[in-house]
Amino acid sequence: MKKKFIKNILGLTLVEILISLVVSSMMMAAMYTTYSIVNSTYGQVVNKAQISRNSRDLVELLIRDIRMAGFKYYLGTNSLNYPEETYLQIPDTSSIEDSHAPIVIQEGLDHESFVETGTAHVTKNTKNNPLDLCCDKIHIVFDDFDQTNPLQPYKRYKTTYYARPMDDGKDAQGLINPRYAIYKSKISWSQPRGNETDSFPPTGEWIGQLQGCQECYHEQLIRDYVEDIEFIALDRNGKRLLPFPDPTTAAGRDNLYKIRSVDIKLSFRSEKDFFRLEARDGQPRKVLGFSRTKEDYTDRYLRDSVVVTVYTRNIVDEGLF
């Protein structure tokens, strides 16, 4: 009975065990491959969604501010009983930083940004590559009203969008990573009521948070991983304004109040590698611009652009100002 029981015990041979190991390994490899593909696809979807979200959020901010450009607050009936009156006279200036023009666009030739000091705003150059034409800067001026300020219920603000290079990474060649971030600053024009008649030319100054403007701010980070931001000013016929609207030249000043819309092109790149391989030799990935030369890239980052047109609503001829 004992011998018969032993003979009836079933088992696996070595060949069967090896076959089962091979089949199991193939199944595990197939599962891992499927997981890798799904995970990679998910990561790409997340990267694309992030770029789309960054573009959408920044576009919404720009649209809101550009539509406010040139808005003038006429003091009508209000709780302070101030009568309807004309605007304060603004000192004439040919400086971009001091200009009161509704929109001033600086083409991507530098990366100067506001730096608040104890008494004034100065600029500093944060540019990495003198040949880099990335990232225009736009200044937007509009009026508002503050009933809590009896000395200056009329308010004028200037918001500035600009880019600064981020030096926290390097590309495949060991060079500084050509990535930028978009910042926003807000300052206010300080000129008490009655000043326009007490002195001529009238006095006033742009002030920031350090000078007592509580609603102002400096270098507020808006969006990171920016490849380029470009602005094109258009006239009422949809044509580009040339010469470029610029308060520093006579011809440019003539076009400052002819802006009827602004074309915006935003380009973002993914935070992490998107493509599995770098671009093939002779077949780089390209990012196109309005007026700048197209850029070629061979790295594995994903880049995408969005283009919108924003119509101004409050910019009128300077003679009516």
The pLDDT assigned to 116 comes to: 46
pLDDT digits (tens, 9 = 90+) for 20-72: 888 888 888 888 888 777 776 766 677 677 777 778 888 999 999 999 999 87
User: Could you tell me if residue 20 is inside a domain?
Assistant: no
Q: How confident is the model at residue 186 (pLDDT cuts 50, 70, 90)?
A: very high
Q: What is the mean pLDDT of residues 86-96?
A: 64
Which one-letter DSSP state was computed for residue 244? P
Report the alpha-carbon angle 165-171-177, nearest 5: 5
Q: Residue 140: beta bridge partners?
A: 103, 159
Q: How confident is the model at residue 192 (pLDDT cuts 50, 70, 90)?
A: low
User: Could you tell me if residue 89 is inside a domain?
Assistant: yes
User: Could you tell me if residue 22 is inside a domain?
Assistant: no
User: Could you tell me if residue 285 is inside a domain?
Assistant: yes
User: Could you tell me if residue 222 is inside a domain?
Assistant: yes
Pick the residue with more confidence: 200 or 215? 215
The pLDDT assigned to 227 comes to: 85
The Cβ of residue 241 has, within 10 Å, a number of other Cβ atoms equal to 19
Domain extent for 157: 31-320
User: Could you tell me if residue 205 is inside a domain?
Assistant: yes
- Give pTM, 2 decimals: 0.75
Contacts 24+ apart (CB under 8 A), 35-44: 40/276, 43/272, 44/274, 44/302
Pick the residue with more confidence: 132 or 118? 132
> How far is the C-alpha of 288 from the C-alpha of 284, rounded, in Å?
12
Whether the CA torsion 10, 16, 17, 22 is positive or negative: it is negative
User: Could you tell me if residue 97 is inside a domain?
Assistant: yes
Closest by alpha carbon to 277, among 46, 48, 40?
40
Which one-letter DSSP state was computed for residue 211? G
Report the alpha-carbon angle 218-165-103, nearest 5: 55
Q: Based on the structure, what is the number of domains in the chain?
A: 1
Residue 180 has pLDDT above 70, yes or no: yes
User: Could you tell me if residue 44 is inside a domain?
Assistant: yes
pLDDT digits (tens, 9 = 90+) for 144-170: 876 676 666 678 899 999 988 876 555
For 55, phi and psi rounded to 5 degrees?
-60, -45
Q: Are 137 and 97 in contact (CB under 8 A)?
A: no
The Cβ of residue 257 has, within 10 Å, a number of other Cβ atoms equal to 18
> How far is the C-alpha of 63 from the C-alpha of 51, rounded, in Å?
18
Place of tokens 């004034």: 120
Those residues whose C-beta lies under 8 Å from the C-beta of residue 200, and which sit 6 or more positions away, are none
